[in-house]
Every structure is written in C-alpha cells, then in structure tokens.
Amino acid sequence: MTEATCRNLDPENPDAGRSRQLAACDDAALREALKHFSRSTYYAAYQFRLTGDPDRLPTLILGIIEHYVDTGLQGRLTRPDSELLLCEHLGIDSLDLMEMVSLLEDVLQIPISNSDRPALRTLGDLRRYVESKAAGVPPIPK
C-alpha cells in the first residue's frame, strides 16, 4: 500500500519520525472526516493515530467541540474549564453531542457505548472518558 505524503513532523523536533506516516487510505479518511475542522485538529488526530500519544487528545477534543459551539460562545473555550457543561454552557444540543461523539469514535478509532453518552455532561467528563478509552482502560467515573 502506498504511504501518505503527510509526514510525521513535530514542530519541536522536525527530524523525529520522518519515515513514519499513515497509509494513504487512512490519511484520506482522516482528512475527509475533519475537512471542516482546523488544521491543528487534523494534525492532532494524525499524530494520535500515528503515535498513540495522549498529549494530542486535548487539542483534538477542543478542536472538535469548537466546531459545534456557536461563535458567540467559543470564547469560553479559550481557557477551557473542565466543569464547562457541554449543553448548558456551550450550547451543544443532543444531536450535536451525538455527532461529536460519533466523530471522536471514527477519528480515534475507539468504541463509545451509547449507554455511556449521558454521563458525558462536561468538558472534563468528555476528556477523561476519551483519554481512558484511547488508553484502553475502563472509563473512570467522576
């Protein structure tokens, strides 16, 4: 299989992993899934898929959430508080929350149970849940 042209370039260490890259079909699917999101969101997802580095998750999660937050409320994400309520403080409705969680499943290639979704009420809940699922451990209750 051919390899994607997008390289594993780390701005802090540009020589690290130059030969590592996602397969072209994986990169194309990731680009398609995140085509309406910021470049930093795509980059964080790409790096997470490539390395499994959990330090990429906050950027990815915030980038996805930001897409679903009304422009007038996006200022609340500049200094994100883990207790920000997704629906009440950020105006994310239940349909947007379902789309967001489905996108996280696809991008991170992790399963998110429908029964767990109601517990994802705050930014911190979502972050902790995704980080634990990505690490392959059971989610830690709040």
CB within 8 A of 72, min separation 6: which ones?
A: none
**Domain extent at residue 46:** 24-135
Question: What pTM, to 2 d.p., does this model score?
Answer: 0.79
Q: Which residue has the higher pLDDT, 12 or 111?
A: 111
> Does a structural domain hold residue 16?
no
69 pLDDT more than 60: yes
> Does a structural domain hold residue 76?
yes
> Does a structural domain hold residue 4?
no
What pLDDT score does 12 carry? Answer: 52
Q: Are 46 and 21 in contact (CB under 8 A)?
A: no
Please give the full DSSP string across 50-72, using - where no structure is assigned: HH--GGGHHHHHHHHHHHHS-GG
Q: CATH number of the domain at 72, please.
A: 1.10.1200.10
> Does a structural domain hold residue 12?
no
* End-to-end C-alpha distance for the chain, whole angstroms: 43
Distance CA 118, CA 40 (A): 28
